[in-house]
Amino acid sequence: MSAREGRGQNRKPAGLPAKRGGAGTPARRGSARPPATVTSQQATGEAEDTSRRWSAKGPVTAGLLGLLLLVGGFGGWAALSEITGAVIASGRIEVERNRQVVQHPDGGVVEEVLVTEGDTVAAGDLLIRLEGEALRSELAVVEGQLLEVLARRGRLEAERDDADEIVFPALLLETENPVAAELMEGQRRLFEARQESEAQQGEQLARQSEQIGNQIEGFESQQQAIATQLDLLEDERSDQQSLLDRGLAQAARVSALQREAANLSGTAGELTASAAEARSRITEIEIQRLRLGSERREQAISMLRDLQFNEIELSERRRTLMSQIERLDIRAPVAGAVYGLQVFGSQSVVSPAEPVLYIVPQDRPLVITAQVAPTDIDQIRVDQVVSLRFSAFDQRTTPELFGHVTQISADAFTEEGSRVSYYRAEIALDEGQIERMPESFTLIPGMPVEAFLRTDSRSPLAYLIKPFTDYFAKAFRET
């Protein structure tokens, strides 16, 4: 057997350790072969077999080191680096204090529409005119009643104050209504007639008092004459009595004189009573003369009291009607562009308190309103930095603008259709941000905006473990 064949018989399968024979190794039982001699070629073949054997220790060690380096590097980056957080909210561009709605509190029928959709108007410009014939007719009636009340008030105040002429209210004097002059002239004539009537009554009472005074003088003259007659009768009776005592006269004569004296005394008493009655009548007449003025004043005061309530009512009705007539001309409350016009021609009906049109102000700064989810509201604060992206523009040429939160709603809003709740956050652009926009792009109210409200920075590791911590915080609680 040749040396190559000997090597072929001694070769072991790859990966199995070779059993090396030596001097101390006994020969296989029953074998009569002498020990083989190791040649240089055999040693070289065994070295080649050893180099071809595969070992996993090196690759595993390298892999573990690489994995450890990767995990350690990522863990260090995740724990030590920080990522800026943001709350993403959708919104839109609005005008500060939003668009101005134009309404009419009373409604009515349109007489003329003076604007069209998209027109630019100034504050105070006439937009729509409503019909007002019925209101003007009612105002004319109310003003006529009010002017009559004012004219009567002027006359009654003059009678109350016992004035010589009437001082009419300023509203009656300043009005351009031709009826006012007629009313004032009528009240002047009535005032003068009442004055003349009162004067005539006073003169009549004065004449009555004078006549009664003359009667009293007559009574007094008669009384004086009777007193003289009584004195003469008393003298004659005394003479006759003295003659009767001497028997020179008859008793009948004395009795007749006494009867005549008694009659004269009775007549004198009647004259005294008549004079007293006449004086009493004079006193009553003087009282009547005094009551003429007082009754006139009392009547004027009473009528003024009733007239005052009527005047207040008519004044309020007049003020209300004038206000309604002024509102027939619907004017622009602010300057801006007409938007959402609801009426387009005459005879259209405007419902009370319903929007007629909207005016989008052009001179107010733009604001962005973002809808923040209730779960994120705790991360929102005033003056918070916001990044804004406008989806209506080309993102390749439109820069990202920056602003800040100016106001946050105190409570959540709920959309009527979707019933989705949200908080309203108002965002103002920082100074100089508008200038960063391309000249061909213009921000218009109503454009959609995507707002990124920056929150506190956190490490990537915190982002990774937060879902697990939230889950375990809920999972390990009793229900």
pLDDT at 336: 87
Calpha distance 462→479 (Å, rounded): 27
Q: Euclidean distance between the first and final Cα of the chain, in Å?
A: 88
Note whether 314 and 344 are same-domain residues: no
Say yes or no to pLDDT of 330 above 90.
yes
Which run of H or of E encompasses 187?
Answer: helix 178-245
- 400 within a domain of the structure (yes/no): yes
CATH number of the domain within which 308 lies: 1.10.287
For 44, 232, 367, 389, the CA distances from 429, given in Å and listed in that order, are: 84, 131, 7, 12
Backbone phi, psi, residue 240, to 5° = -65, -35
Residue recorded with tokens 């920075």? 457
User: E strands of 116-231, at which residues?
Assistant: 120-121, 126-130
Question: pLDDT grade, residue 371 (50/70/90)?
Answer: very high
Among 143-147, 205-209, 401-405, the least confident range:
205-209
Number of domains in the chain: 3
Q: For all residues of the chain together, what is the average pLDDT?
A: 80
CATH number of the domain within which 338 lies: 2.40.50.100
Note whether 298 and 433 are same-domain residues: no
The model's pLDDT over 103-162, given as tens digits with 9 standing for 90+, comes to: 999 899 999 999 998 898 999 999 999 999 999 999 999 999 999 999 999 999 998 888
Q: Check: pTM over 0.95? Answer yes or no.
A: no
Mean pLDDT of 374-383: 91
CATH number of the domain within which 385 lies: 2.40.30.170
Of the candidates 162, 281, 171, 304, the one whose C-alpha atom is nearest the C-alpha of residue 216 is 281
With both helix axes pointing from N to C terminus, report the angle between 57-80 and 460-475 in degrees, rounded to the nearest 10.
90
Note whether 105 and 194 are same-domain residues: no
- 410 within a domain of the structure (yes/no): yes
Among 194-203, 237-246, 433-442, 460-469, the least confident range:
460-469
Note whether 231 and 317 are same-domain residues: yes
pLDDT at 41: 54
pLDDT at 77: 66
The fraction of the chain above a pLDDT of 70, given in percent, is 80
- 332 within a domain of the structure (yes/no): yes
Note whether 256 and 190 are same-domain residues: yes
Calpha distance 405→388 (Å, rounded): 12
Note whether 127 and 240 are same-domain residues: no
- 10 within a domain of the structure (yes/no): no
Note whether 341 and 408 are same-domain residues: no
Say yes or no to pLDDT of 20 above 80.
no
pLDDT at 310: 92
- 463 within a domain of the structure (yes/no): yes
- 335 within a domain of the structure (yes/no): yes
- 79 within a domain of the structure (yes/no): no
pLDDT at 206: 83
Note whether 203 and 311 are same-domain residues: yes
Among 163-177, 246-260, 295-309, the least confident range:
246-260
Note whether 202 and 227 are same-domain residues: yes
Chain-centroid distance, C-alpha 11: 107
Note whether 168 and 197 are same-domain residues: yes
- 293 within a domain of the structure (yes/no): yes
The model's pLDDT over 265-284, given as tens digits with 9 standing for 90+, comes to: 888 888 888 888 888 888 88
Residue recorded with tokens 């709605």? 101
**SS3 assignment, position 473:** helix
Backbone phi, psi, residue 353, to 5° = 65, 10
Chain-centroid distance, C-alpha 380: 29
pLDDT at 3: 39
pLDDT at 38: 47
Calpha distance 224→219 (Å, rounded): 9
Note whether 121 and 146 are same-domain residues: no
The model's pLDDT over 211-241, given as tens digits with 9 standing for 90+, comes to: 888 888 888 888 888 888 888 877 777 877 7
| Beta carbons within 10 angstroms of residue 110's beta carbon | 19
Note whether 109 and 239 are same-domain residues: no
**Residue 448, domain extent:** 86-96+365-475
